[in-house]
């Protein structure tokens, strides 16, 4: 039996067997170190700690706003755990590299080399995503594209059309566009029924400052100023303090908005992703990025920062380095939405699925290491 940290303080001491494991997460409510201090009878249990995010690399507007205790709790939890699992290399590396500077904030005794003590315990195991079957929700052109991707994984050649788009990230657009790559064109003689529709851009993230909505909306407003045709769906959860950029941008982009706000129905959410052409991340904080993978699973062309976890998951052709590059990429796609609609995204989402990762998690939770 696997035991969770939240339940153990209330579990009778006689209810714990010698062969059981303690499975904890890096969440703040109940640090593993505190738990083992309160329950010394747990010391013989194998303790597996999973990091979905870490507090040391969490972006704050001012460094003095960072809560020292949250990060300190995570460091202590690593020290008492037998195995420390991260959902990405970026998550692991950003945490370990931040430990020395974080510990320097202690006013008196400052323990050194804690990162070197923790590193041998660390492994990376991706967060398992439950990808639903969305074929019933896909528009015709995505269904046709899906049929044409049978040979995709064995094809590593670059598409001339995509090269042209990439080259113009730092150049002025030319008068003509290169012709579509045959590999990316669905094997169907009928033209797409929606090629005349404006580009549909989706932003499916939490409405918080660490997702950098300012960059996203400022980019869309530049597209609007140039009278480019596009539609936008802004999804994601909202919390107590919604950044001011959201209501102000809603007014300015009203004629372009298809969907606005959190969709409580999973099917409605997936339908929007299936209808969209491009999914954009502008995040300043991302240790994995489930929403981007879900959108790619639904056939969206991804555009992500060349930073954080994204280079681990997405090839370079889907990454941008500057706000100007993001603008130019979207500008070209607004002019030629067929590029995004024909393109076969070269990201194998299946390797992040629960089906693929289940054996590794089973090994982790039975043997202690994947």
Structure tokens given for 186: 């669905």
Residue 109 structural domain = 2-128+354-367
Predicted pLDDT of residue 32: 79
Residue 141, pLDDT above cutoff 60: yes
On whether both 246 and 359 belong to a single domain, the answer is no
Q: What is the CATH number of the domain that holds 44?
A: 3.40.50
On whether both 177 and 124 belong to a single domain, the answer is no
Higher pLDDT, 178 or 291: 291
Q: What is the DSSP string of 274-330?
A: HH-SEEE---S--SS-HHHHHHHHTTPEEEEESSTTHHHHS-GGGEESSHHHHHHHH
On whether both 213 and 84 belong to a single domain, the answer is no
Q: What is the CATH number of the domain that holds 315?
A: 3.40.50.2000
Q: How confident is the model at residue 68 (pLDDT cuts 50, 70, 90)?
A: confident
Among 136-145, 156-165, 188-197, 317-326, name the one with the lowest average pLDDT.
156-165
On whether both 179 and 328 belong to a single domain, the answer is yes
Q: How confident is the model at residue 1 (pLDDT cuts 50, 70, 90)?
A: very low
Cα(first)–Cα(last) distance of the chain, in Å? 18
Strands (E) across the chain are located at 2-4, 21-25, 46-51, 83-86, 122-124, 199-204, 230-235, 257-260, 278-280, 301-305, 319-320
On whether both 200 and 297 belong to a single domain, the answer is yes
Predicted pLDDT of residue 297: 97
Tell me the per-residue pLDDT of 13-50, one tens digit each, with 9 for 90 and over: 555 555 566 666 655 556 777 777 788 887 788 889 99
Tell me the per-residue pLDDT of 243-272, one tens digit each, with 9 for 90 and over: 999 999 999 999 999 999 999 999 999 999
Per DSSP, what are the bridge partners of residue 304? 319
On whether both 65 and 206 belong to a single domain, the answer is no
On whether both 253 and 202 belong to a single domain, the answer is yes
On whether both 203 and 247 belong to a single domain, the answer is yes
Predicted pLDDT of residue 175: 32
The domain tally of the chain equals 2
Across the range 203-215, mean pLDDT stands at 96
Among 6-15, 88-97, 203-212, name the one with the lowest average pLDDT.
6-15
On whether both 86 and 234 belong to a single domain, the answer is no
Higher pLDDT, 223 or 43: 223
Please state, for a pLDDT cut of 90, what percent of the chain lies above it: 64
Higher pLDDT, 135 or 195: 135
Burial degree of 227 (CB within 10 A; 0-12, 13-18, 19+)? exposed
On whether both 67 and 198 belong to a single domain, the answer is no
Closest CA to 287 of 115, 95, 129: 95
On whether both 210 and 239 belong to a single domain, the answer is yes
Tell me the per-residue pLDDT of 303-359, one tens digit each, with 9 for 90 and over: 999 999 999 999 999 999 999 999 999 999 999 999 999 999 999 999 999 999 999
On whether both 174 and 97 belong to a single domain, the answer is no
Q: How confident is the model at residue 60 (pLDDT cuts 50, 70, 90)?
A: confident
Predicted pLDDT of residue 216: 99
């Amino acid at each position: 039996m696997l035991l969770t940290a939240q339940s153990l303080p209330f579990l009778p001491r006689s209810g714990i067997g010698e062969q059981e494991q303690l499975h904890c997460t890096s969440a703040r409510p109940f640090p593993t170190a505190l738990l083992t201090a309160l329950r010394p009878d747990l010391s013989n249990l194998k303790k597996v700690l999973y990091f979905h995010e870490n507090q040391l690399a969490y972006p704050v507007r001012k460094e003095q706003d960072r809560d020292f205790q949250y990060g300190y709790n995570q460091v202590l939890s690593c020290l008492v755990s037998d195995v420390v699992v991260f959902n990405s290399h970026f998550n692991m590396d950003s945490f370990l590299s931040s430990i020395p500077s974080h510990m320097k904030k202690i006013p008196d005794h400052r323990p050194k080399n804690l990162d070197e003590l923790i590193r041998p315990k660390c492994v990376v195991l991706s967060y398992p995503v439950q990808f639903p079957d969305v074929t019933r929700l896909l528009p015709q052109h995505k269904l046709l594209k899906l049929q044409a991707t049978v040979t995709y994984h064995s094809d590593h050649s670059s598409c001339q059309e995509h090269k042209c788009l990439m080259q113009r990230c730092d150049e002025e657009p030319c008068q003509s566009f290169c012709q579509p790559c045959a590999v990316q064109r669905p094997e169907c003689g009928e033209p797409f029924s929606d090629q005349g529709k404006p580009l549909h851009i989706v932003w499916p993230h939490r409405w918080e400052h660490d997702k950098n909505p300012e960059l996203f909306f400022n980019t869309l407003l530049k597209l609007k100023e140039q009278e480019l045709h596009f539609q936008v769906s802004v999804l994601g959860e909202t919390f107590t303090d919604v950044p001011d950029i959201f209501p102000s941008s809603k007014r300015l982009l009203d004629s372009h908005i298809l969907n606005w706000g959190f969709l409580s129905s999973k099917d409605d959410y997936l339908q929007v992703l299936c209808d969209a052409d491009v999914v954009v991340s502008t995040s300043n904080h991302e240790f994995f990025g489930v929403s981007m993978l879900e959108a790619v699973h639904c056939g969206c062309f991804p555009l992500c920062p060349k930073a954080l976890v994204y280079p681990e998951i997405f090839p370079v052709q889907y990454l941008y380095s500057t706000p100007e590059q993001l603008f130019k990429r979207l500008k070209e796609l607004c002019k030629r939405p067929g590029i995004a609609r024909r393109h076969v995204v070269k990201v194998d989402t299946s390797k992040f699925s629960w089906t693929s990762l289940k054996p590794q998690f089973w090994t982790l939770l039975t043997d202690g290491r994947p």
